[in-house]
Amino acid sequence: MFKTLLKSRFSAFWASFSGAGANKKKKQQSMATKVLLILLFVFLAGYLAVAFGAMAFGMDIMAKETGDFWVSQTLGAMVASLFCIVGSVFTAKTQIFESKDNELLLAMPIPPRYIFLSRITMLLVVNYALEALVMLPVIFVHTIVVGYSPLGALFTLLVFIMLPFFTLTLSVLLAWVISAVSARLKNKTVISVLFTVFFLVIYFVACGAFGGFIGASGDEEANIDFSGLKKTYIFYWMGSAMSDGNALSFLFFALCTIIPALLTFYLLNRSFVKIITTNTGVKKIKYVAKEAKTSTQEGALVKKELKRFFSSSAYILNAGMGNIMTVILAVMAALLSSELMLMLEQEPMLGKIIPTVVAMIIIFSASMNLVSAPSISLEDKCLWILQSAPIEPKKVLMSKIYTHIIICEPLTLISSIIVAIAFKFSALNFIAIILTSLSMVALTGFFGLFLGLKFPKFDWQNETVAVKQGFAVFGAMFGTMIWTMLFLFAGILFAILGADFWIVGLAFTVVNSAICIAIGAYFSRGGAHTFANLKH
């Protein structure tokens, strides 16, 4: 029985990526689409591997001078843990405590512990996958640059095996708290968003704290001092056990991992049925008569889209988190501006490159807002209502673009102004970064909706699948990612040739605007026809 449940979990997990839905009568994805999705996953994994491998390489090279070979392993363990917790806490919340098939499975002759263990096992696999993205490059680079002792190699293998149990324990406990709190609130969206923002703040604070952990001494040679990282305790124990073969450090790590994990899973297994069947009650809503308000068709459609967005935590967190990232990165860049400005005095060329890099950070994070890409897929069974209503299809499509812009433009504008003031941009560069950022938001909206119209995903059972998966979402994400990389290369090339940032910024804005106009023209003709003939 357990094997069957576990197999169904893995099948559902694979189906969410392969495009196989609940409705078997629907046309399956073409081989070309599947190959493209695989290539996109490989690209993302490779990108992360190179980034974390480069971090480990830099740490290991510095460690050859200081003798602190545990640093790269400690940092790798910290990043991997944050990666796993942020990446699995809400999955744990929906899979264990709020799964829609809990009551159905409990009504069957299936031992509850099998249900619980199958879901825990699935989450454990997810944690291993996330850990591998960080730790495998770190371990590989350390093996090449420094090497492991026989005991260190053994502890490295054991730490790799045990680390997901540590992160899964924290993820499940946090998911339990979030589920318990949100169940007693009228608006569950608020608590989910607040907890996610809290995790992001913790993540960035931890990343920023690396600068505090890794300080420079007062010597003229500015030798690096890694002693502050030892205050991270469990992560330092992991790094010490892996690099130095320190048995005592491994023992401390093992005790802090195994005991809490066993205790948590034992208590959850014992109380699993009680937790998922507890009736937290529903707050009664008292009807209050109000005067009906009228609006234009476009206004009503935009209000509908906005209400849909802000009523779904999955939609906000997966499609609109770029807004928060934009502000966070802008503030961090502004805080570092004084140090970077000092560098400009020694390297004048950086003065021309920095505006491009700063603008790229803003437009990259802004392009992670994918509000429009899944908006058609989210219509699902209600699609016929819009199609049969006396509304032009173009107005329906443009309302989704307007919603994307309303949600994403304000914070992008504020972030652009923050960095422009912090880095003391000239008037032309000030205008250029604002126009570049806003045009990128518009391009993301138009391009995302174009893909959403061409590749809708109506075979989802949970709206999270529609928001996170499907070719439209992945295509919009990686398409804008590649486009921002091209902008960065063009900006650096122009800087090397002696041109100011505003030239490439305005050129980028013109190209973005032209693409938006072309897609908008398509929505008026072929796109409107395609939408009117979409089938659920």
Q: Do 225 and 181 fall within a single domain?
A: yes
Q: Do 328 and 273 fall within a single domain?
A: no
Mean pLDDT value of segment 37-50: 77
The CA–CA distances, whole Å, from 111 to 115, 117, 333, 413 equal 7, 10, 53, 54
Q: Which residues pair with 225 in a beta bridge?
A: 215
Q: Do 129 and 219 fall within a single domain?
A: yes
- 434 within a domain of the structure (yes/no): yes
Q: Do 313 and 236 fall within a single domain?
A: no
Assess contact for 145 and 66: CB atoms under 8 A. Answer: no
pLDDT surpassing 70 at residue 100:
no
- 35 within a domain of the structure (yes/no): no
Mean pLDDT value of segment 117-146: 89
pLDDT surpassing 60 at residue 18:
no
Q: Given 210, 244, 277, which residue is the final one in a domain?
A: 277
pLDDT at 201: 65
Assess contact for 132 and 48: CB atoms under 8 A. Answer: no
Give CA angle at 322 (457, 411), nearest 5°. Answer: 125
pLDDT at 314: 74
Q: Do 177 and 323 fall within a single domain?
A: no
- 36 within a domain of the structure (yes/no): no
Mean pLDDT value of segment 410-434: 90
What six digits make up the tokens of 451?
């893909």
pLDDT surpassing 70 at residue 48:
yes
CA distance 55 to 36: 29
Spell out the long-range contacts of 398-402 with Cβ–Cβ below 8 A and sequence spacing 24 or more: 398/298, 398/520, 398/523, 399/298, 399/301, 399/302, 399/304, 399/305, 400/305, 400/372, 400/375, 400/376, 400/445, 400/449, 401/372, 401/442, 401/445, 401/446, 401/449, 401/520, 402/298, 402/302, 402/305
**Could you tell me the pLDDT band of residue 289, with boundaries at 50, 70 and 90?**
low
- 412 within a domain of the structure (yes/no): yes
Mean pLDDT value of segment 313-328: 80
- 216 within a domain of the structure (yes/no): yes
Higher-confidence position of 29 and 404: 404
> Whole-number mean pLDDT of the chain?
80
Q: Given 277, 307, 328, which residue is the final one in a domain?
A: 277
Q: Do 134 and 273 fall within a single domain?
A: yes
Higher-confidence position of 352 and 138: 138
Q: Do 265 and 378 fall within a single domain?
A: no
Q: What is the domain count for the chain?
A: 2
pLDDT surpassing 90 at residue 213:
no
What pLDDT, in 10s, does the model give residues 220-234? 444 455 666 777 788
Mean pLDDT value of segment 74-88: 83
Q: Which of 50-54, 164-168, 343-347 has the highest mean pLDDT?
A: 164-168
Q: Do 168 and 212 fall within a single domain?
A: yes
pLDDT at 136: 92
- 49 within a domain of the structure (yes/no): no
Higher-confidence position of 531 and 535: 531
CA distance 79 to 74: 9
Mean pLDDT value of segment 192-217: 57
Q: Do 230 and 336 fall within a single domain?
A: no
**Could you tell me the pLDDT band of residue 463, with boundaries at 50, 70 and 90?**
confident
Higher-confidence position of 206 and 272: 272
- 416 within a domain of the structure (yes/no): yes
Beta strands 215-216 and 224-225, pairing class: antiparallel
Higher-confidence position of 206 and 82: 82
**Could you tell me the pLDDT band of residue 217, with boundaries at 50, 70 and 90?**
very low
The whole domain housing 222 covers 2-16+55-277
Q: Do 262 and 307 fall within a single domain?
A: no
Mean pLDDT value of segment 75-104: 78
pLDDT at 444: 94
Q: Given 249, 277, 305, which residue is the final one in a domain?
A: 277
Mean pLDDT value of segment 345-366: 77
- 429 within a domain of the structure (yes/no): yes
Mean pLDDT value of segment 193-197: 68
CA neighbours within 13 Å on the CB side: how many for 393? 21
Q: Which residues pair with 216 in a beta bridge?
A: 224
What six digits make up the tokens of 378?
């989210």
Q: Do 215 and 67 fall within a single domain?
A: yes
Q: Do 175 and 314 fall within a single domain?
A: no
**194-198, 222-226, 270-274, 384-388: the lowest-pLDDT one:** 222-226
Mean pLDDT value of segment 381-400: 88
Mean pLDDT value of segment 430-434: 92
**Residue 59 burial by CB count (10 A; 0-12/13-18/19+): exposed, middle or buried?**
buried
